[in-house]
Amino acid sequence: MNGTLSIPQTVPRERRRWTTRLPVRIIQISLDLGALVCAFVLAYLLRFDFQIPAKEFSRLLHQLPYVVLIQMGILALLGVYSFIWRYVGMPELKTFLRAASASAIPLFALRIFLPEPLEIWRIPFSIVIMDTVFGFGFLFGMRVLRRGLHEHQERRRAPSKETGADVPALLVGAGQAGVLAAREILNRGDMRLAVKGFIDDDPAKQGAVIHDLQVLGTTDDLPRLVKELKIAQVVITIARITRGDILRIIDICHKIPVKMRIIPGLYEILQGKVQVTRIRNVQIEDLLGREPVLLDEKQLGEFLAGKRVLGRSSGSSTSTWKCGGTGRSFRSFRWWRTSARSRVFDRCSRPTGHRSSFTPRRTSTCR
C-alpha cells in the first residue's frame, strides 16, 4: 500500500521541479544565443572597420546559423547547461575554454578544406578567432555577473550585526583555509570581525591581495602590526598546521599580548562537520600534532575494577572514571601537570598573572 502511494507523490514533485526550471533554462539559452550572434556580427564589423561590403554581409548571413549551431552543440555536449550560473568559478572556466577550442577546430577545418564553389561557407581565420574569443567571453562573463549579483544579494540578506564595534583581527595563513575563512567572514554580517589583512610566512605571498585583504607580513611582524593596527584578535587559518607552528604562534601572541583563536581543520570543513566560520579558542588537542586517542571507558572500567590505580598526565586536572559492573562514578586521581605543553597552553588560555595549581599524584581504588 505504501509502495503504490509513493509513486504519485514522486511524479508530481519531479514534474513541478521540471516546470520550475524550464523557464529559467529557456531564458539562459536565449541569452547565450543572443551573445553568440552578437559576437559573430562584432567580429565581422571589426574585420571590415564597421563597413561591411554587401558581398561580405551576404556571407555573414549564410555563415551565422551553422556557426552558432556548432557552438551551441559543443556547449551542450560538454555539459555547460548543467552549470548553475550563480556558482560558476574556475572549474567551469576550464570547460568554457575547452568548448571554445572544440568549436573553433571545425570552423578552421571548413576554411581549409572546403572547395572554391563553396567559398561562401568559408570563414576567414581572423573572424573565427575574434568570434571565439568574443562569444565565449560573453557567455562566461554573463555567468560571472550573475554570481556577483547573487553574492551581493547574500550579503544584503545576511543577519545584521549585533550592537558593538567590530573586533580588529588578523588572519594567520593565506592559503586555502584562509581564503575560505576570509570570504565567509566578509560575506556574513554576524561575525563581528573587522579583518585587517593576512599574515603568512611564504615570501611569494608578501604584498598579495586576496578578497581585498593584503598579506601584510610574516609572523615575525605580528608585534608591530598588532600595535599599529590595534589588533584585538589573531585567528589561525592554516588548514594543516603543525604542533611546532602553533606553539611558536602561541608564544608570539603571549608576549605581545593578544588574544589568539583558531578555525577547525580543513578536512572537518570539507566533510561538513563544522563551518569555516566556527572560530574557537585554541584547545589542548590542537597541540598534539595528531588525532586525540579516545579510550573505551566501559572496557577500561571493567579492567580496573577493584584495582589500585596510579595516574600521571600532562593535560587534564581531574578525571572521572566509572567502576566496571557497578556504573558508579568516582574521582580516581588528580593529575600532576608537568609537561611544557600544558604550561604553554595554560599561558595562552588563562589570564595574565594566573597561577595554575599543581597537585601531587595520589592513588585511588575502584570499589
Q: Where are the domains of the chain?
A: 14-157, 167-287, 297-365
Question: 0.95 exceeded by the pTM?
Answer: no
pLDDT recorded at residue 347: 43
pLDDT recorded at residue 361: 42
pLDDT recorded at residue 23: 83
pLDDT recorded at residue 19: 60
pLDDT recorded at residue 180: 82
pLDDT recorded at residue 77: 95
pLDDT recorded at residue 283: 56
Instruction: Give the Cα separation of 122 and 111 in Å (integer).
Output: 5
| pLDDT mean by block of 10 residues, the chain; 367 residues | 48 56 86 96 95 93 95 94 87 93 95 90 95 96 92 69 71 86 75 86 89 89 92 86 84 89 60 50 55 69 73 49 43 42 44 42 43
pLDDT recorded at residue 181: 83
pLDDT recorded at residue 359: 42
CATH 1.10.357.10 fits 167-287, yes or no: no
pLDDT recorded at residue 363: 42
